[in-house]
């Protein structure tokens, strides 16, 4: 199975900061990668798919990049609503896997 490793596991930041989260795959997954945001007690919500495609309704301050084994999710200017946990997910194969998550906390 393809392993997904996210870093950092926790990130402390302030409103207005530029934030970058990294996701690494154990083997090449082309651009078959999605990013999700999850708030406590809620279901995940998709932000990006195919590494860099913004899902409808998601603010443009979110962006994604990467291909192969290394990917990033960037929030250009962190807003109060963005404090949450973020997960990457690969869908290169029928056996889907998620990263361990990155919690974005208030500094």
Partner 1 sequence: EVQLVESGGGLVQPGGSLRLSCEASGFTLSTYWMGWVRQAPGKGLEWVANINPHGSEEYYVDSVKGRFTISRDNAKNSLHLQLNSLRVEDTAVYYCARVDPYNTGWFDFWGQGTLVTVSS
Residues that bind partner 1 (CB under 8 A): 1, 32, 34, 36, 38, 42-46, 49-50, 55, 87, 89, 91, 94-101
Q: Dihedral angle at the C-alpha atoms of 50, 94, 29, 86, nearest 10 degrees?
A: 60
Residue with smaller CB distance to partner 1, 36 or 62:
36
Query: Least distance (Å) from partner 1 to the CB of residue 50?
Result: 7
Question: Cα–Cα distance between 99 and 85 in angstroms, integer?
Answer: 11
Rg (CA), the chain: 13
Q: Are 64 and 55 in contact (CB under 8 A)?
A: no
Query: Least distance (Å) from partner 1 to the CB of residue 106?
Result: 19
Query: Least distance (Å) from partner 1 to the CB of residue 16?
Result: 28
């Amino acid at each position: 199975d393809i392993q997904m490793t996210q870093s950092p596991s926790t990130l402390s930041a302030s409103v207005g900061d530029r934030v970058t989260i990294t996701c690494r795959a154990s083997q090449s997954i082309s651009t078959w990668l999605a990013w999700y945001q999850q708030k406590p007690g809620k279901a995940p919500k998709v932000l990006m798919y195919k590494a860099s495609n913004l899902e409808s309704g998601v603010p443009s301050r979110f962006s994604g990049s990467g291909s192969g084994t290394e990917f990033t999710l960037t929030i250009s200017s962190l807003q109060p609503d963005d404090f949450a946990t973020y997960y990457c997910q690969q869908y290169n194969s029928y056996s889907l896997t998620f990263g361990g998550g990155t919690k974005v906390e208030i500094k």
